[in-house]
Structure 1
Amino acid sequence: MTETRPPLPASLDDVDGWFPKVDQRLFTWFLDRQERLGQSGDLVELGSYLGKSAILMGRHLHGGETFTVCDLFDSQAPDDSNQAEMDGSYASLTRTAFEANYRAFHDRLPEIVQAPTSAILDHVRPESCRFVHVDASHLYEHVRGDIQAAHVMLPVEGVIVCDDYRSEHTPGVSAAVWEAVAVEGLHPVCVTPQKFYGTWGEVKQVQDDLLAWLGDQDDLWHEVQEVGGRALLRVKSRSAPKAKKKDQVRELKERLARVEDQRARAQHELDSVRHSLSFRVGRAATALPRAIRRGGRRH
């Protein structure tokens, strides 16, 4: 019996996974900015699920650079807590599915390390990377180790992105991320509802450039807050339901204006008819017989 394989994805939207549009836009902006500034270096993703974010990152890989993906995929986790997390959230994850999705968009696969993310420093040299995406375990000890590994892999101007830094079901990620900010010198650049973007380098110029870009994006909302004496940008997509509601309100107003215009024209035509000589003569001609009939009925 022939095995039926799912159809290959034709666009990023066809790939299963949690990678919101706002983060797709920001990944692209950060990676494009590095390229504009001539910042070369390798790319690393710790935890890839079915490849949605990896596919986008792979589009920014240049000659002489390496993209390394580290994930357990369908291997056994190294400890019971991690295995329980895998069984509960990633039971459908297989390396075969990841590779099929990635190959639908790229000729070559990234370097794949099928192992716990704690092994990444055995495969990636210190300060060799420019962009690291941390999206593996949600357990505090593991995320803390992943952030520390990213610190080793990134030069001072490199960018780290951490997923699920604020979700209710991932408090371990929150603890590890904000501990890195408070204790280990990680500087927040911006946050979205799902991801944290930071660097161990200076952030002012990055934030100034990002603010200038955001000012031209009608579909993205942003504000500047202050955390521990440092600026922090909040970015999110403008609510699609609200945008849709605005379109509906505008359409209703336009429709109401058209109806009102039609009513005004009809009223104008009616007034013109009522004030015409023919209408007055016709009305007088029909009014006289009615008056005679009413008068006759009184007797």
Structure 2
Amino acid sequence: MSDAHTAVRDGAPGLPAGATAPPHRLDDVRGWFPVLDQVLFAWLLDRQEAGGARGDLLEVGVYLGKSAIFLGRHLRPGERYTVCDLFEGDAPDDANRAESTKSYATLTRRAFETNYLAFHDELPRVLQGPSSLVPGEVPPGSCRFVHIDASHLYEHVHGDIGAARDALLPDGIVVLDDFRSEHTPGVSVAVWEAVLNRGLRPICLSTQKLYGTWGDPGPVQEDLLAMVRGRDDCHLSVQQAAGHRIIRLKAKREMRAPAFPLSRYGREAREAREDVPAEPTPLPHQPVPAPPAPAAKASPPRRPRSRARRVVIDLLPPLVTRALVKARTACRPTAR
């Protein structure tokens, strides 16, 4: 068991070179694994498994583990998963050494293992060294799926393609990265040379990867066309080149990656959030009743007229009576 494995099991892996924080989701792992390729990996691997195909998995060139983590989820009991990378090891030649220094200076094996073990209980079999180790370590005809994403130099890619051909089962699938990037002409030359002269038969092309087989691509292409035509998030075209049918795919903006479980860090964070007592639900707003309006001030009771006064008023002439009433009213205090 490696130091990285022990550290992760103890829950204190630290931050190895090349890692910025413990990954909670697959997207937190640095690397190049576009959504369309995640969809294609998942579909091809699921198709193999549904069809009863058995065989090992191989990835050559893992960087910090993004695609390796994804691929490892499809490892089934009795199968073996091997990954190969230089990590911080010595390159086999000056050109490869310059390439590694320029593009992968921060890559370490511990960073890869820490990321991988955040999502899986066990590491794959790790070959640390040049991809030329693969033919001597992976038995011929043992693999159902091989992903090549290592050196961009023609000589190395040529050898990696040969190693993949030897390692694959008759209907196994190889995925070759960077077959069309302007900064990787060596990969382009080696890939199309394999199509033209070494029996590799294309299945489909994504933006960055060529998917192929040394078996019959027809059945998987028909199933792939049916799958893609049932989606509305992927551009599709079918072309012919040098006697090969080539399916070209490009993701639309709305394409979403397949669901992938949280890492153990993500699960711990979610569980911690669920343990926090919920804030009490506020009661519905109750309007404060308005204070009662002050009671109207009662007018002072009118004093009843005396009997004698009533008699006098009744006996006086009306003109005199009206004058007396008017004078009395004028003498009353005005209400304020």
The TM-score bracket by the shorter chain reads 0.7 to 0.9
Identity of matched residues, %: 57
Q: Is the 8 A contact 2:13 2:114 kept in 1?
A: no
Q: Aligned match of 1:67 in 81, 93, 99? A: 81
Is the counterpart of residue 58 in structure 1 residue 48 in structure 2? no
| Rounded Cα–Cα distance in structure 1 between residues aligned with 2:197 and 2:204 | 18
Q: What is aligned with 2:148? A: 134
Q: How many residues align?
A: 240
| Match for residue 94 of structure 2 among 53, 64, 80 | 80
Query: What is the distance in 1 between the residues matched to 2:244 and 2:189?
Result: 19
Q: Secondary structure at the residue paired with 1:62?
A: coil
Q: 1:154 aligns with which of 153, 157, 168?
A: 168
Partner of 2:236: 222
**Contact 2:59/2:147 (CA < 8 Å) preserved in 1?**
yes
SS in 2 for 1:157: strand
Match of 1:15 in 2: 29
Alpha-carbon distance in 2 for matches of 1:10, 1:217: 29
The Cα shift of 1:4 comes to 5.3
2:268 aligns with none
Q: Which has the higher helix share?
A: 1
Q: From the superposition, tell whether residues 4 and 102 of structure 1 become closer, same or farther in structure 2 (CA, over 3 Å).
A: closer
**What does residue 49 of structure 1 align with?**
63
One-letter amino acid matched to 2:89: S
The offset of 1:217, in angstroms, is: 1.9
Post-superposition CA distance 1:17-43 (Å, at most 9, x none)? 011000011011111110011011000
Q: Which residue is 1:273 aligned to?
A: none
- Aligned residue identity for 1:37: G
Query: Contact 2:175–2:211 (CA<8 Å) still a contact in 1?
Result: yes
Deviation at residue 3 of structure 1 after TM alignment: 9.7
Q: CA RMSD for the aligned pairs? A: 1.5
On the 8 A contact 2:85/2:150 being kept in 1, the answer is: yes
Report the Cα distance in structure 1 between the residues aligned to 2:134 and 2:14, rounded to whole angstroms. 34
Q: In 1, Cα distance between the equivalents of 2:43 and 2:239?
A: 21
SS at match of 2:169: coil
1:121 pairs with 109, 132, 135, which one? 135
Following superposition, the deviation at residue 239 of structure 1 comes to 3.6
Cα gap change, 1:113/1:238 in structure 2, threshold over 3 Å: closer, same or farther? same
Q: Check whether the contact 2:233–2:254 (CA below 8 A) recurs between aligned residues.
A: no
Separation in 2, partners of 1:66, 1:127 = 13
Conservation of the 8 A alpha-carbon contact between 2:172 and 2:213: yes
Contact 2:176 / 2:210 at 8 angstroms: preserved in 1? yes
1:37 alignment partner in structure 2? 51
Task: Provide the secondary structure at the position in 1 that maps to 2:83.
Answer: strand
Higher relative contact order (CA 8 A, sep 6+): 2
Match of 1:261 in 2: none
| Structure 2 residues without counterparts, runs of 5 or longer | 1-11, 256-336
User: How far apart in 2 are the matches of 1:219 and 1:15?
Assistant: 24
Letter aligned with residue 117 of structure 2: R
Distance 2:232 2:192 in 1: 30
TM-score by length of 1: 0.78
Q: What stretches of structure 1 of length at least 5 have no aligned partner?
A: 242-299
